[in-house]
Homo-oligomer: A and B are copies of this chain.
Amino acid sequence: MKSHTEYLTFNLPARLGFERITEQVAKVVADSGVKEGLVLVNAMHITASVFINDDESGLHEDYEKWLETLAPFDASPRTYHHNRTGEDNADAHMKRQIMGREVVVAITKGKLDFGPWEQIFYGEFDGRRPKRVLVKVLGE
């Protein structure tokens, strides 16, 4: 059994944003030498997500608007208890639950075993500072 661990760092310029990371994950898998196995990709911060969906900028705009409807940003202490602690990012903790913390992807014949449109994204909901993503490969 082989295992391989790498940490990627992202620093998105806005509070909310999405960045495609498929290529970075594919490189970690290639570097691991694993031909058959699983790769876990997870945000190491609790106001960020890793998810798999479409690489289409219109959809990303839709996600942004939709998440804002489901869990609106409000820095004031009125809406969210969490923002009475000096924080302003309670909404980000909710958006992250909708979009998810992690993905687990199959590795088959040395490659990410993906459908035609699957792309891995880093989702940021409280950006403008560096945050890490863990990539862990397990297999043979």
Flag if A62 contacts B44 (CB, 8 Å).
Answer: no
Q: Report copies per complex.
A: 3
Residues of A contacting B: mostly = mixed
Q: Which of A95-115 contact B (CB under 8 A)?
A: 96-106, 108, 113-115
Interfacial chain B residues near A93, Cβ < 8 Å = 53-54, 59, 62-63
Flag if B3 contacts A139 (CB, 8 Å).
Answer: yes
**In the bound complex, how far is the Cα of B40 from the Cα of A108, in angstroms?**
13
Flag if B134 contacts A44 (CB, 8 Å).
Answer: no
Q: Which of A74-130 contact B (CB under 8 A)?
A: 80-85, 90, 93-94, 96-106, 108, 113-118
Could you pull out 9 A-B pairs where Cβ atoms are within 8 angstroms? Answer: A45-B117, A46-B117, A51-B97, A58-B84, A58-B85, A66-B71, A100-B100, A100-B101, A104-B104
